[in-house]
Structure formats: structure tokens, C-alpha cells
A = this chain, B = another copy of it.
Amino acid sequence: MKELRIQTEHHQYPVYIGSKLRFDVGSMLNKQYDRVLIITDKNVEPLYLQEVLQSFPSSSQVSSFTVPASESSKHIDVFYQCHTYAMENGLNRQSLIVALGGGVIGDLAGFVAATYMRGIDYIQVPTTLLAHDSSVGGKVAINHHIGKNMIGCFHQPQAVIYDTDTLSTLSNQEWRSGMAEVVKHAFLADEVLLERCFTLPAFPSMERDVLEYLLMRGIEIKANIVAQDEREAGIRRYLNLGHTLGHALEAEAKYVLSHGEAVAIGIDFALFLSQQHHPSLTFPIERYRKWLQQHQYPTSILHDYEITNLVERMKSDKKNDQHDIRMVTLNEVGDPTTVAYKVNEIKEQLLVYKKEVSRV
């Protein structure tokens, strides 16, 4: 088992990464909780719920609530149902919520914990590769019909407990989704990690020690940035690399496209913009595009949507100041920056980019 400590402004918590940890969730916590509510989804429930449930000592009264396994669970009605269930099961301010699942469950259960009786403890037990990103940093939220993650807050977990075995049941699309965020962290901070990503075989067949390495480094890079800027006032914005276009694509594709697949395309566009600013530098764009093809990222999907609609969605991104669209780009690998674009500039750049990738 590997262990990391995450330091935020007013709080510190451990991340454990290893095999079979789901059997020890309850006993790994340094507090006893009289009442525990596990929030999970319909896919994860039959696989791991019983094991996590039984990991708690018999002195804890543990209940569980299962929601649909899709982005639609980040709906305000589901959020309210979770609260109802928590109250009906007698959760109080000294109780614990466990987020057992991927990013959707982490965001939903974390926001329930953040707002239940004005905030109670919760832990993350991620079951996807993508959740290595969302389970660290304390950002929790539900969706609004106008935009993703628009209703939420910051609420740090008490611990993140990552059982690597649970990743064996992921689909190819989920592997792609998670690897996009690993690659993002590599582009932001670590050329060695990037090289390791580029030389991977088919994702599901990667060795356990490689997987643990990718998770550790991904989480470390994210945690370092979050530690310096918990509330996204400054450099935390860099974590948004690939996300401005990514979120717009994801919303246009009505969540058919996975989060990471959309971000992977967004990163490609960010690299394209970076090259406009630094034509003399060599970014590994070609290698990145080959890697996207090799692992069957749906790169051609950009052609299915109107640039105008995408730009409209990019305008409403939470990270924008006032009227410009703020994009994260790279000066080089490991050296991110942000650039503000006028709406029309982004539109033009997207048109040029679309032409360029259609030639590939």
C-alpha cells in the first residue's frame, strides 16, 4: 500500500492506494462513527458495496443509498433524496458519509456531506481511474440544467481510500476517460510521467505497479497545486487544461461523450493554441494525436457540433472573468499559463483547429 498526505489550507488528510483496501475501509479511519451512510451507484453496488459495508465495526450503524450510474445522478432531486435518506436513517453531525464510486458519486455524496446539517465528515472510496482527479481537492457539486457543477462548494474529505483492484471492472471508455486526466497532470508538471503514458500498451492490460505509479503521480501533482491554491484563486486554474472546450463538448454531446474523452480533445486544442503563441517551441502534438488514435479517443466528434454553440458554452464557464474566455495553455511541458481570448478569437481559432485536425 502507498500513502500520501494531502495538505490544504486548514486541513490535512491521507490518500491510501493499494490492493484489497475495500475490505479495510471502516478500520482505516482514525475516528469511530456511530452512523455511516454509503452513497453508491447501481453499477458499483453489486460489485463492492457489501465488502465496504462489512469493513465497518459492528458498533457502527451503516446504511446505504444507491443512485443511477450516470451523470444524471448529479441532479438536485437526487441530492434532495440523499438528504431525505440521511435524515430518515438518523445521521447527525457526528456521522460519516462514504462516497463509493466514480466522480459522479464523489461529487454528489461530497456535496451532500458539505450541506447536511451545514457539513459533516465524508471519505472518498474511488472505483474509477478518472476519480483519481476528482477525489482529491475538495471540489464537490451537482449540475444545473444550464451548466455542469454550477451548484457546489469546497469540502475536503477525511480520507481517500483507493482500492486498485476495483479498476479491473472498468470499461475501455472509462479507462480512456481516466487516462486523459493522468496525461493532463503529466503535461502540467512531469515529462517523465508523460513519456510513461505515451508508451503504455492497451490501458486495461497495464501492470499493477504501473497503475499505482500513474495514480500516485497524478494525485501528487494535483495535490501540490491544490495545496497552493485551495479555492481556485490562482494557479489551481491550471488544472483546467483541456476543460474549457472539454466541458462545452461534453455538454453538447449530452454526456454521451465521457468527461475525460472530452477533456482529451480539449487538451489537443490547448496544445494547438500553445503552439500559436510559441511557434519556435516543439510541443509533442503529433505524438499526442497518435496516442489519442492508438487508444481510440473519439477525436472526430468535433465535426458533429457547431463551433458557435461550443463557444456559447465556453463563454459560460465558471473560470471566466467578465467577458473573455480564459484558456490554459503551455509555455512548454511542465510550464502552464493562462491566456484570455476574445469570444471572436476563440471562434476563429476553433475553425482553424477543426480544419487542421480534419487533415490528420
* CB <8 Å contact, A118 and B154: yes
Complex interface: chain B residues within 8 A of A151 (CB) = 80, 83, 115-116
Over the window 149-163 of chain A, the binary record of Cβ atoms lying under 8 Å from chain B Cβ atoms (1 yes, 0 no) is 111111000000000
Query: Closest approach, in angstroms, between the C-beta of A57 and any C-beta of chain B?
Result: 16
Chain A interface category by residue count: 35 or more
Question: A144 contacts the other chain (Cβ, under 8 Å)?
Answer: yes
Query: Closest approach, in angstroms, between the C-beta of A77 and any C-beta of chain B?
Result: 9
Complex interface: chain B residues within 8 A of A76 (CB) = 76, 80
How many monomers of this chain does the complex have?
Answer: 2
Given the complex of chains A and B, what is the CA–CA distance between A321 and B93 in angstroms?
7
Cβ < 8 Å to B, chain A residues 191-245: 231-232
Question: A87 contacts the other chain (Cβ, under 8 Å)?
Answer: yes
Over the window 303-347 of chain A, the binary record of Cβ atoms lying under 8 Å from chain B Cβ atoms (1 yes, 0 no) is 000000000000010111110000000000000000000000000
Question: A301 contacts the other chain (Cβ, under 8 Å)?
Answer: no
Query: Closest approach, in angstroms, between the C-beta of A76 and any C-beta of chain B?
Result: 6
Q: Select one of B141, B146, B322 contacting A92, CB under 8 A.
A: B322
Cβ < 8 Å to B, chain A residues 84-112: 84, 87-88, 92-94
Cβ < 8 Å to B, chain A residues 115-164: 115-119, 139, 141, 144-147, 149-154
Complex interface: chain B residues within 8 A of A147 (CB) = 87
Query: Closest approach, in angstroms, between the C-beta of A330 and any C-beta of chain B?
Result: 24
Question: A114 contacts the other chain (Cβ, under 8 Å)?
Answer: yes
* CB <8 Å contact, A150 and B83: yes
Query: Closest approach, in angstroms, between the C-beta of A202 and any C-beta of chain B?
Result: 37
Question: A51 contacts the other chain (Cβ, under 8 Å)?
Answer: no
Contact A34/B114 with A10-B10, A146-B87, A154-B119 known, Cβ cut-off 8 Å? no
* A-B residue pairs, 6 tightest by C-beta: A117-B318, A87-B146, A118-B152, A115-B151, A118-B153, A115-B153
